């Protein structure tokens, strides 16, 4: 079979993109691209009760932001949602006539039937079955209505749905590329609704009709759709169509192996992006949720993923969404950026945390002074080692933008005391005062200060600890040499001396 590989992502517009949805989209994308095929975006919005204003735009934008490029489907151009491709419309609510036509075909061929049972009857039936501890399903009351009875009911204007007439015996086998063969007894399947009374199709009818008409060769989707798949296969049979191949993807789990939920952390892709996870890192991380390349490689570019992705290496068991691993990966991608690139990405966070403001092309620090591009780049460089998400910058670098506030006690190193600390700080202040501007470089400072420490018979900690705290106000921060070089670059020597003087004053 030389059919072109065509996959699709078919989300319902919920108002956000779940990380599990991104994983589905990514795998479908990688599989298509690995096979020189096409990737389609179709929006499944047949559940009118769940309509959310702006949700489709949001979805399209987030796929764009994350860099998943589809070949066909819905796009936004000049602020408008438009369809592109030969198999549209790609919005299910615009395909109602198509579904109606195909539902009628199924009725004509005896694979579906009109059902006039109202909500009240169905509710009573459900209660009865529950009381008897039976599976709740439709009892097929309308399955054998004669043509005439159906016509009479229609003429009377009775409301109806169209149900799938599931074969009463036999088996349906789902051949899944991940889960292998799954056998279903037809008698265990419900005569589910295909067309609702509001004229909209259900997911089951729409997905089959669309995947067929859009010539989808491989349906790649979450494990939760496995129980629906035998019904879909029976529909393909009823239409006399060849079914696509199916690949279901394992569930995403929390660390405690419960189903990934909002309660235990973020699940929306946009939340990760806005916290400052780089899209390359997110893609890399998501690709490894359920796909095992079976090598030691952990860092993958999109191109490498496309080259190596293979459905046979997708696991059946659930995969843990381990935020610590994401943090580790994101830090690796952050460190790959140049100081200038990272600075550009950090500026919006510095602004949103109120550490700097933008004034035309200039940036002003919280202390009112103008800060240079070089200064911001130096901060980016120092922090890149430790950042696992860009938004963390907000809590880390306040001291670069205003004099730090802190409790004087923390100036005293654990093996030192007040007298020693004052003495050490005073001498360090005098020492730094005498250095020339050219000497305010981390490597030079490190040598000079270490020499100064040994000449005075100090311990490293008794000098470097209070020095660092006086500059940063923090018990944990980058080393004092880098801080001094950066502050010097930003504001000159005076700023450094002033901070040491302020510390000494606090110790009085």
Q: Which of these ranges, 4-12, 176-184, 353-361, 368-376, lies near ligand GLU under the rule CB under 6 A?
A: 4-12
- Residue 251 to residues 18, 20, 223, 316: CA-CA distances in angstroms? 12, 8, 6, 9
Instruction: Give the contacts of 194 (CB within 8 A, at least 6 positions apart).
Output: 103, 106, 112, 161, 162, 163, 164, 201, 202, 204, 205
Q: 40 vs 278, which CB is nearer to ligand GLU? A: 40
For residue 253, the Cα-to-chain-centroid distance in whole angstroms is: 14
Q: Which of these ranges, 7-15, 65-73, 154-162, 446-454, lies near ligand GLU under the rule CB under 6 A?
A: 7-15
Q: How far is the CB of 285 from ligand GLU (least distance, A)?
A: 21
Tell me whether residue 354 is exposed, middle or buried, using C-beta atoms within 10 angstroms of its C-beta: 0 to 12, 13 to 18, 19 or more: exposed
d(Cα 335, Cα 369) in Å, to the nearest integer?
A: 28
Tokens 């934008």 correspond to what residue?
Answer: 61
Q: How far is the CB of 221 from ligand GLU (least distance, A)?
A: 3
d(Cα 277, Cα 392) in Å, to the nearest integer?
A: 11
Q: What part of residues 399-418 is at the interface with ligand GLU (CB under 6 A)?
A: none
Q: 229 vs 330, which CB is nearer to ligand GLU? A: 229
Instruction: Give the contacts of 437 (CB within 8 A, at least 6 positions apart).
Output: 488, 492, 493
Bond before 89 cis per omega within 30 degrees:
yes
Instruction: Decide: is 225 part of the binding site for ligand GLU (CB under 6 A).
Output: yes
Instruction: Decide: is 431 part of the binding site for ligand GLU (CB under 6 A).
Output: no
Instruction: Decide: is 304 part of the binding site for ligand GLU (CB under 6 A).
Output: no
Q: Which of these ranges, 5-13, 269-277, 336-344, 375-383, lies near ligand GLU under the rule CB under 6 A?
A: 5-13
Q: How far is the CB of 308 from ligand GLU (least distance, A)?
A: 24
- Determine contact, residues 290/322, Cβ cutoff 8 Å: no
Q: Of 5, 16, 44, 336, which one interacts with ligand GLU (CB under 6 A)? A: 44
Q: How far is the CB of 54 from ligand GLU (least distance, A)?
A: 17
Three-class SS of residue 221? Answer: strand
Q: Which of 133, 147, 262, 476 is catalytic?
A: 262
Greatest Cα pair distance, the chain, in angstroms, is 108
Three-class SS of residue 246? Answer: strand
Q: How far is the CB of 281 from ligand GLU (least distance, A)?
A: 25
Q: Which of these ranges, 9-17, 54-62, 263-271, 291-299, lies near ligand GLU under the rule CB under 6 A?
A: 9-17
Q: 10 vs 281, which CB is nearer to ligand GLU? A: 10
Q: How far is the CB of 274 from ligand GLU (least distance, A)?
A: 23
Q: Of 5, 12, 145, 325, which one interacts with ligand GLU (CB under 6 A)? A: 12
Q: Of 6, 7, 10, 389, which one interacts with ligand GLU (CB under 6 A)? A: 10
d(Cα 402, Cα 11) in Å, to the nearest integer?
A: 47
Secondary structure of 443-476 in the HEC alphabet? HHHHHHHHHHHHHCCCCHHHHHHHHHHHHHCCCC
Instruction: Decide: is 236 part of the binding site for ligand GLU (CB under 6 A).
Output: no
Q: 12 vs 61, which CB is nearer to ligand GLU? A: 12
Q: Of 6, 7, 11, 342, which one interacts with ligand GLU (CB under 6 A)? A: 11
Q: How far is the CB of 248 from ligand GLU (least distance, A)?
A: 10
Q: Which of these ranges, 6-14, 121-129, 301-309, 474-482, lies near ligand GLU under the rule CB under 6 A?
A: 6-14
Torsion angle, alpha carbons of 426, 431, 434, 439, to 10: -130
Q: Of 41, 112, 115, 207, which one interacts with ligand GLU (CB under 6 A)? A: 207
For residue 11, the Cα-to-chain-centroid distance in whole angstroms is: 14
- Is 196 a residue of the active site? no
Q: How far is the CB of 129 from ligand GLU (least distance, A)?
A: 27
Give the interface size with ligand GLU as a residue count (CB under 6 A).
7
d(Cα 82, Cα 210) in Å, to the nearest integer?
A: 18
Instruction: Decide: is 47 part of the binding site for ligand GLU (CB under 6 A).
Output: no
Q: 203 vs 491, which CB is nearer to ligand GLU? A: 203
Instruction: Decide: is 221 part of the binding site for ligand GLU (CB under 6 A).
Output: yes
Q: Which of these ranges, 8-16, 75-83, 104-112, 117-125, lies near ligand GLU under the rule CB under 6 A?
A: 8-16
d(Cα 501, Cα 495) in Å, to the nearest integer?
A: 10
Q: What part of residues 349-388 is at the interface with ligand GLU (CB under 6 A)?
A: none
d(Cα 164, Cα 230) in Å, to the nearest integer?
A: 12
Q: 74 vs 207, which CB is nearer to ligand GLU? A: 207
- Determine contact, residues 113/143, Cβ cutoff 8 Å: yes
The residues annotated with a catalytic role in the active site are 262
| Binding interface with ligand GLU (CB under 6 A) | 10-12, 44, 207, 221, 225
């Amino acid at each position: 079979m030389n059919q072109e590989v065509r996959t699709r992502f078919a989300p319902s517009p919920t108002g956000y993109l779940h990380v599990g949805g991104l994983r589905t989209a990514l795998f479908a994308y990688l599989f298509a691209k690995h096979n020189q095929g096409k990737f389609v975006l179709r929006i499944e919005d047949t559940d009118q009760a769940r309509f959310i204003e702006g949700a489709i735009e949001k979805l399209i934008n987030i796929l764009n932001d994350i860099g998943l490029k589809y070949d066909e489907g819905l796009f936004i151009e000049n602020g408008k949602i438009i369809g592109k491709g030969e198999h549209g419309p790609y919005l299910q609510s615009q395909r109602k006539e198509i579904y109606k036509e195909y539902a009628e075909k199924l009725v004509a061929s005896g694979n579906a039937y009109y059902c006039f049972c109202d909500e009240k009857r169905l509710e009573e039936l459900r209660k009865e079955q529950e009381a008897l501890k039976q599976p709740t399903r439709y009892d097929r009351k309308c399955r054998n209505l004669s043509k005439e009875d159906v016509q009479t009911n229609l003429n009377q204007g009775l409301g109806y749905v169209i149900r799938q007439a599931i074969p009463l015996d036999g088996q349906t086998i789902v051949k899944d590329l991940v889960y292998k063969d799954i056998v279903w007894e037809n008698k265990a399947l419900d005569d589910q609704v295909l067309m609702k009374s509001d004229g909209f199709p259900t997911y089951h009818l729409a997905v089959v009709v669309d995947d067929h008409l859009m010539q989808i060769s491989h349906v790649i989707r979450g494990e939760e759709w496995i129980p629906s798949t035998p019904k879909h296969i029976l529909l393909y049979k009823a239409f006399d169509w060849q079914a696509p191949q199916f690949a279901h993807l394992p569930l995403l789990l929390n660390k405690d192996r419960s189903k990934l939920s909002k309660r235990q952390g973020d699940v929306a892709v946009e939340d990760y992006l806005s916290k400052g996870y780089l899209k390359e890192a997110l893609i890399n991380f998501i690709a490894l949720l359920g796909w095992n390349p079976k090598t030691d490689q952990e860092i993958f570019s999109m191109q490498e993923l496309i080259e190596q992705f293979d459905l046979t290496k997708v696991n059946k068991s659930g995969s843990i969404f381990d935020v610590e691993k994401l943090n580790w990966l994101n830090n690796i991608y952050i460190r790959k950026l140049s100081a200038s690139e990272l600075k550009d990405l950090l500026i919006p966070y510095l602004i949103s945390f109120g550490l700097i403001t933008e004034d035309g092309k200039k940036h002003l620090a919280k202390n009112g002074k103008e800060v240079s591009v070089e200064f911001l780049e130096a901060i980016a460089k120092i922090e890149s080692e430790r950042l696992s998400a860009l938004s963390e910058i907000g809590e880390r670098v306040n001291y670069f933008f205003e004099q730090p506030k802190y409790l004087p006690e923390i100036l005293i190193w654990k093996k030192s005391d007040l007298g020693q600390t004052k003495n050490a700080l005073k001498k360090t202040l005098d020492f730094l005062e005498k250095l020339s501007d050219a000497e305010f470089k981390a490597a030079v400072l490190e040598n000079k200060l270490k020499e100064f420490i040994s000449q005075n018979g100090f311990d490293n900690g008794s000098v470097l600890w209070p020095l660092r705290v006086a500059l940063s106000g923090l018990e944990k921060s980058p080393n004092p040499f880098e801080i001094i070089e950066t502050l010097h670059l930003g504001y000159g020597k005076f700023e450094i001396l002033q901070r040491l003087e302020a510390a000494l004053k606090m110790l009085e």
